[in-house]
Structures are given as structure tokens and as C-alpha cells.
Chains A and B, each alone.
Chain A
Amino acid sequence: MALGHMRPRAKKFVPPKLMITSMMDMFTIILIFLLFQFSEKPETIHMMEEIELPTSSAKMDHTETIQLVLTQNSLQINDDLVAQVKKGNVVGLDPQNPKASVLYQRLQEQFAQTVKNSDEKQPKEHILLLCDKRHSFKTINKIVKIAALAGYPNFQFAVLKE
């Protein structure tokens, strides 16, 4: 047969078939993983890179409180910078005159506001302390004392679940 007489054979169109089974497998794995990680109360705490929380067997959830964050370099109340931390010392925090510190003033303002709103003499608010695990008790003690002086003797120490 001469080549000129050959008719080009039209390829039959085969509609592409999506491999649903493998996609289903993938989605099932993702779904199971997410279900295990599911939390009714997702963490709303802004975690910074420079903070390393200690691990603990504690099971209690934190409550909505004043959030105090002590990293290696800074001290913050509710994400507002209060003081710098240099070599474990909180700058501007004099143990001899704690009432002059910004930390005391901020907590005192907060305390006055809470008392005004709740009509309680002693609000039962906690301070949620997120502290880097490498800090010494010397640094923590100063902050804790000032907070107690400002009217907040109760704390919740944030830890990572073991």
C-alpha cells in the first residue's frame, strides 16, 4: 500500500481519570493527625522565639489573666515592652525602690482598673508568667515580689505539657 493512501489514524480521546483512592488515603492521614492535635481552646499566647518554657506534668489550663512574659532580653506585660533584661538583670528595676519601676506602675494601673470594674477589694486575678527556663530565681523573685506588692500574689507559671 502506498504511503499516500494511508489515512492518519485519529487517536481515541480517553478522558483522564483522577486517582481518588490515593487522595483519599492522604486526606484520611491528614484528618487523623489533625484530630489528634485538635484543641477546644487553641493557644492564643504569642510565643516568641527567644523563650523556652520548662516542661511539666501539670494538667491545668490557664485562665484569662494578665500575661507577663520574661524572655532572655525583655520583660513584657500583655505584649507591651516594660523593661529590657540584660544578663539576668531587669533594667530599671530597683529592689530598694520597687514602686518606682514601670512594672509596678503598670500592674498598679491594672489593679485599680480591675477594682473599679469588679467592686472587689481584692480581685482574684492571677498573673500568667511565661518565663524562660534558663532564668535564675534571683531575676524571677524580683518580678514576683513587685507583682505581689501591686496586688497580685497569685501566679500561674506557664509550662509545656510533657
Chain B
Amino acid sequence: MSIITKGRRNSDDDTELNMIPIMNIFLVIIPFLLTSVSFFHIKVISTSVPVMADSMHESLKPKKMKLTVIVEMRQADMRLSTTAENLDPQELEQFEQLFKLQAAGMYPLMELNEYLQSIKSTYPESDTLILIPDETVIYESIIQAMDAARNFNDSPLFPNVVLSGSLG
């Protein structure tokens, strides 16, 4: 065996990666990440309750064809109606819809979402939905209804959801 070959084999055997500095870096990064980790991600849904508004400011704005959708979450069904300043009551009546509860007592939110999409495509400027749940409706169902009303996939439908109690 030549001397050159022997020398090359020795250098191959000695090549070993020094892991200690990498380990040191890991030991620094891991505690840092542990302090910044969050195991549950809290997000929020913005909403408001009806309040007395200053009508002077509203009248100065240019009028756009907007519908305000009203969704009543009742014990047996969901009733959808609309209101608008520039439309006749007869025109608004055509949007009225009743969604029966599903067999498992769940609200038909997919149907609601599809119907809201059709309203949005007709009146794209519309952005407000008033949600009126019955007193017995649980918070989880309200949040689900808000989700169905706010967006379809990633496109917004009615992002301004106003939560209101029923009158009477």
C-alpha cells in the first residue's frame, strides 16, 4: 500500500462533526421558544350592540344600495328578513326566508351561508347583519351563526354583525 493511500484513509477516519456548539445553540433556542410558545390560539370576533346613532352624520354620506340582513334564531327555525332605506317593502319581501332546524336540532348554517352569498352577489355593498337570537340559544350556536354570516371561505359576506335581543 502506498503512503498516499494510507494517509488519505487516516484523514477520512478523523472527520467527525463537532456537535457540541450546535447543541449549545439548541440549548439557548429551546428555552427562548418555550417562553414564546402558545398552546391555544385565541382569536376574536368583533361585534356590537345597537346604540342611539347620530343621524346627521349618516345623512351626509352618499347613499349606496345596501341591504341590512336580519336573522332571527328561534327555537324551531331561523327567519331571515331584510331592511333597506332605498328599497320598497315589496322588494324586500322577496328576500324573506325561513330555515327549518335540522334533524339533530342544529341550525342550518350552510343553507344560511349560501343564501347570504346570493344576497351579497345582488347587493355587494351590503355588510351589516343583525343577529337576534332567542333567549334559549346557546353562545356556541351564536358564534357558529356569526361565522356563517361573516364570510364564505376567505371572502367577506356580512362582516359587521350586530347582536341584538328580541323585542317583547
Contact = CB atoms under 8 A, between A and B. Distances in A.
Interface stretch (B5-13, B19-27, B82-90, B98-106): B19-27
Interface in B37-62: 37-51
A48 interface: no
B119 interface: no
A57 interface: yes
B33 A38 contact: yes
A41 B37 CA distance: 9
Contacts of B146: 56, 157
Interface in A58-93: 58-62
A100 B41 CA distance: 36
Given A24-B19, A24-B22, A137 B44 contact: no
Nearest to A59: B43
A10 interface: no
Contacts of B38: 37, 39, 42-43
A107 interface: no
Give the dominant DSSP class at A's interface. mixed
A135 B139 contact: yes
Contact of A42 (B36, B133, B136, B151): B36
Contacts of A135: 138-139
Contact of A155 (B26, B39, B48): B48
Interface in B122-168: 133-140, 142-144, 146-147, 150-151, 163, 165
Interface in A107-128: 126, 128
A56 B143 contact: yes
Residue of B45, B135, B150 with most partner-chain A CB within 10 A: B45
A73 to B, nearest CB: 16
A162 B137 CA distance: 21
B40 A137 contact: no
B33 to A, nearest CB: 4
Given A31-B30, A42-B37, A133-B139, A61 B23 contact: no
A141 B135 contact: yes
B3 interface: no
12 contacts: A27-B23, A31-B26, A37-B33, A39-B38, A42-B38, A62-B43, A133-B139, A137-B134, A147-B49, A155-B47, A157-B143, A158-B44
